Amino acid sequence: MAYDNPQIGKDIIESLTLGMYEDCRFIYREYIQNAADQVDKAIDSNLLRKGEEQIMVVIDPVKRKIIIEDNATGIAKDNVVPILRNIAFSTKKRGIDKGFRGIGRLGGLGYCSTLKFETSYCGENVKSTMVWDAELLKNIINDRDTRQEAVEVLKEVTKTEFSKEKSDTHYFRVVLEEVSDDDLLDITSVRNYLSMVAPVEISSGFLYRTQINQFMKENKLVNDVYNIYINQDQIFKPYTTSIYEDNHGGKKKVDDIFGIDFLIRKDSEGKIIYWGWYSLSGLRGQMKPKNLARGIRLRKENIQIGDEEICKKFFTKTEDQRFSFYFFGEIHAISQDLIPNSRRDYFGESSMCKTFEKLIKEDFLSLRELCYDASKYRNAQTTINKTEEIRQTIEKKNQEGFTSNKEKEDLHKKLEEQQKKEFDAKKQLERVQKKMEESNSPLLSHLENIIPQSEVQFNQKTERDQSQDIISTQPKRIKFRTDSPKYSRFNKGEKKLIGRIYESIKSYLPDAMSEPLITKIEDDLIK
């Protein structure tokens, strides 16, 4: 029996190039990833010194043109066709190089009419240019009336040109012409995306950068960082020491980052599987999208894996997944056996990936406990503060006078009820603090930062006997508001009438509304 020779149809090209990713901005990541690999090779061969590398991204929305260029090794003339026209024939090493599948460079084909690769290799006086006719490629793939093998299509849509170049130049340049997607031309959007995805340094404005670098030094860790520019502006990871929310198009600070803590896990041989850091704050809720760097991010070779939500799944309970956005932070996968998949949205299946997931879920359980402990501590302290607030209100009324006997009785009843809650709150506070001490919680030295400042403006009394509070707030004779000297012009009957008016206002309006109204009436009466 005769068998046909194996064939690979043209549609495979669409699967590997045009239909691989959901977010079109991935093409920047792929090209920068490839550039970073070549920079590493250029440094290893002494063609560049660390710090001399430049990965330049130029976006021209008017001409609808994108250029990504590096000053690394370039590609020798004889290797241009084998490397740049073939698919999945990469010479890169799996687990070592950032890219290794040989498909990422063609991602731009789905978003332009023409894709060009321009390169020059040091020592050669040649500029090599490979041109991909992206429009023709789309037409061929969409033509369902013809069947073509993938190899035939690659030959049809590409051409290679050579011209003179200075022999001491070395570069690789990607050019996308007539870009079809506006998102790729949105400079701000691309800058925001790459500042989190690309292998760049943390912004110097992040106060804890030095602490992170010190941790890396102590544990002999190296983080790949490169000089990457967008339209001449260098980009950095945009971590901040404040947490913001949207405020009519601007931003308003709602919390502070007051520290960071670290994670590190090793295998049985003492080799590091992953390490990471995360922010410490009041942990009052999810960071809003206004915080560009929100969430714990997963990285390999300092390039982001997946998106900002990738680490949510490490919280084993669905209701706890929100806690990922309570932090700024990074998890750096170090093991060579943790290999990103083709889409670079997670790792490929392996025994190491299972080990990684087991360990990271244990660490994220600790992060969950931080959030719950902070919430319990804050709620307990808020209850205690509320009790003290009522005490001080009564003390103030003892000085200035009550609007009525009912007001006095209501306040004392409120205090009595609140003191019961306070008792339970103090017990909870003790339990939470004891738990933190036993687990050596990183929050222990920052407890004062968990409580919003607005809740601790009044003077708190410590170790106060509750019975003394009640006695001290119960004078023998009730002092009414109208007993104040400012009401001396009014006779007894008038004071009584004014007091009844105040009492009525108190009965029908909440304190937040009644007190300002009474104060306004009082000011008008004593003018």
Residue 12: pLDDT band (50, 70, 90) is low
Distance of CA 385 to the CA centre of its chain: 32
d(C-alpha 89, C-alpha 13), whole Å = 14
pLDDT tens digit sequence for 266-294: 999 999 999 999 999 999 999 999 999 99
pLDDT tens digit sequence for 300-322: 999 999 999 999 999 999 999 99
Say if 455 falls within a structural domain.
Answer: yes
d(C-alpha 465, C-alpha 478), whole Å = 23
* Predicted local confidence at residue 93, as pLDDT: 53
Do residues 504 and 466 both lie within one domain?
no
Of 329, 348, 367, which residue sits at a domain end? Answer: 348
Residue 19: pLDDT band (50, 70, 90) is low
Q: Is the distance from CB of 244 to CB of 252 less than 8 angstroms?
A: yes
**Residue 285 zone, left/alpha/beta (φ > 0; ψ -120 to 50; rest):** left
Do residues 334 and 273 both lie within one domain?
yes
Do residues 154 and 77 both lie within one domain?
yes
Say if 202 falls within a structural domain.
Answer: no
Measured CA distances, 380 to 80, 316, 389, 431, 433 (Å): 67, 27, 14, 11, 11
Do residues 390 and 263 both lie within one domain?
no
Give the pLDDT mean for 411-425.
92
d(C-alpha 262, C-alpha 362), whole Å = 14
Would the pLDDT of 261 be above 90?
yes
Type of residue at 525 = L
Using the Cα atoms of residue 152, residue 157, residue 162 and residue 167 in order, give the sign of their dihedral.
negative
Say if 206 falls within a structural domain.
Answer: no
Do residues 35 and 166 both lie within one domain?
yes
Would the pLDDT of 229 be above 50?
yes
Do residues 434 and 525 both lie within one domain?
no
Return phi, psi of residue 305, to 5°.
-100, 130
Do residues 223 and 134 both lie within one domain?
no
Q: Is the distance from CB of 127 to CB of 164 less than 8 angstroms?
A: yes
Distance of CA 390 to the CA centre of its chain: 40
* Predicted local confidence at residue 520, as pLDDT: 83
Would the pLDDT of 474 be above 50?
no
Give the residue numbers spanning the domain of 519: 480-527
**Residue 396 zone, left/alpha/beta (φ > 0; ψ -120 to 50; rest):** alpha
* Predicted local confidence at residue 457, as pLDDT: 47
Structure tokens at 421: 């809650």
Among 5-9, 11-15, 429-433, 449-453, the range scoring the smallest mean pLDDT is 5-9
Measured CA distances, 447 to 154, 178, 363, 376 (Å): 63, 56, 21, 12
Give the pLDDT mean for 10-35.
77
Which residue carries 């403006």 as its tokens? 457
The torsion angle over the Cα atoms of residues 67, 71, 73 and 79, rounded to 10 degrees, is 20
Do residues 173 and 303 both lie within one domain?
no
Q: Which of these, 248, 514, 491, 252, lies nearest to 406 by C-alpha position? A: 514
Using the Cα atoms of residue 287, residue 288, residue 293 and residue 297 in order, give the sign of their dihedral.
positive
In this structure, what CATH number is given to the domain that contains residue 113? 3.30.565.10
Would the pLDDT of 249 be above 90?
no
Do residues 450 and 461 both lie within one domain?
yes
Do residues 422 and 501 both lie within one domain?
no
Stated length of the chain: 527
Type of residue at 436 = M
Would the pLDDT of 16 be above 70?
no
- DSSP state for residue 18 in the 8-state scheme: I
* Predicted local confidence at residue 245, as pLDDT: 95
**pLDDT, the chain, mean:** 87
Looking at the 3D structure of the chain, how many domains does it have? 4
Structure tokens at 49: 């010194």
d(C-alpha 287, C-alpha 202), whole Å = 19
Query: 114-120 and 126-133: which strand pairing?
Result: antiparallel
Q: Which of these, 463, 454, 469, lies nearest to 414 by C-alpha position? A: 469
Return phi, psi of residue 158, to 5°.
-125, 150
Would the pLDDT of 1 be above 70?
no
